[in-house]
Structure 1
Amino acid sequence: MVNQPISLILVGAIKVTNPRARGKKSFQDIVDSIESVGLKRPITVTKRAVDQGSFTHDLVCGQGRLEAFKVLGQAEIPAFVIEATRAEALVKGLVENCARRQHNAYELLRDISRLKASKYTDVEIAAKIGLSAEYVRGVARLLVQGEKRLLRAVESGQIPLAVAVDISNADDLGVQMVLQHAYESNALRGHKLVMARRLIENRRRRGKGLETSLPQRQRRLSAAALIKAYEEDTDRKRILVRKADAARNRLLFVTHALRQLMAEESFHDVLTAEGLGTIPKTLAARISKVEPA
């Protein structure tokens, strides 16, 4: 569009056919930038074949700039007017939106879905939006499986895309193996591993989507579901009790062994020779069966 002429179009005559949500801060940044230095790049529109009401053009890309002009009270906005069918205009808008450096998981998911619906291959989509074909392939797979929760985690940097795809294709046991492999390969460590486990638990309990609440009819649990939940909770508590018993037995063994060693004079001599003639008061009280004060 370097040599394409720029036209002044009435702001009120442009219809936004593919509206997008935008954060207040990012939108205010656009407004402030246009107010201080002007419009850096014209918007792109296509002329309607048939006027509908006051609209003479459809917006292809530049919704933020158009809305900023409205906020600033401008009557006209510079624009490139291109010739394109409705489908072509939609694709051009999607390409620009996808190519933005900052986009949220839902938008990326929706736009790649629309590009695929327009018969673009993963390689073609990757070339258009500046991402790798493997990334687009992974996102498309998560999209098909409805894994919005996993995709949001990928976009926020909580887990790598490859790990998210493996999780989406695994059952409960397989998910644990995926996490173990990710830990061993240094793909997930420390805080990220904790966040991944929390994500998987939320996905198991609340589903793959991002909905925060379920319809009322889905909240009603059947008797079988309640029994299953009770059994799962009981199993977790049994495991906890077994771990506590194992820890207690180990401590009893260590206490008994230390008690026998402390009864040996030769052991005392070794400790003294190594400069370890004293032990903590609590440990000494436990060994001698005397409760600490």
Structure 2
Amino acid sequence: MTAPVIEIIPVASIDVVNPRARNRRVFKEIVTSVAELGLKRPITVRRKSEDGEPRYDLVCGQGRLEAYQTLGQREIPAIVVEASSEDSAIMSLVENCARRQHRAIDLLHDIEGLKSRGYDYDEIARKTGLTVEYVKGVISLLEHGEHRLLRAVEAGQVPVSIALMISQAEDTEVQAVLQQAYEEKLLRGQRLMAAKKLIEQRRRRGKGYRTGPRRVEGPTLSSNALLRAYREDVDRKKILIRKSNATKGRLTFVIEALRKLFAEHDFVALLEAERLDTLPKNLAQRMQS
């Protein structure tokens, strides 16, 4: 196999040998990225030995090729390799295996990596296709270890501006932040409920996510301690059962007393005159049964 060469080749001369079905949302993002930022990486094709005009089989880059076709482009940069059909199939397989789905937090850490290499906010925004405000917010959240908030931002549950306000607020001020977001119509309905759940998890479990096996804090329980804990739990359940039976007995007494009282026509007439002849639904159903 010879060294690859980048050429500008006609889009119409490329054949997709093994087309893959593509998620529409993902494809739309590819088209938008190509339209706004250009092609970040050439596609890879292999030259076919045919008479007449040269033709190529696509090895890697179906999404980029289809994005160019959607945008009406007639030519595309391509790495042209001299390979057999078997070799190109293996290259395509390796490319697909390497294209794993990154977690949102990994992609956001890439922004932090660009910042650590000396790129300013404007350059990072231009390279990633994000807004400067979004980039600043992400870097600030990363610097403070706010991985839970970052996941919510990437999932579209919480705007980055609200995530920043939450990260900078004290526990007693978080509710005021949610109230402001609600009044400004930034968090409503399911998004507001998700934000409340996120804040509670952040308060109880911390800003980030633990990795690796959980550590067991405190001394190991002995068999005697475990048996004592079991007996204490049994005793608590016995007390709960006794209270339940006592409550059931009182409820039965009340129902029977009311049933006898409601059998008295004078008593019922007095209740109706005072508009006290209604009962809670559950109690009325028990009396009827």
**TM-score, normalisation: structure 1:** 0.45
**TM-score, normalisation: structure 2:** 0.45
Comparing both chains, which one has the higher relative contact order based on Cα–Cα distances under 8 Å and sequence gaps of 6 or more? 2
Q: Which has the larger radius of gyration?
A: 2
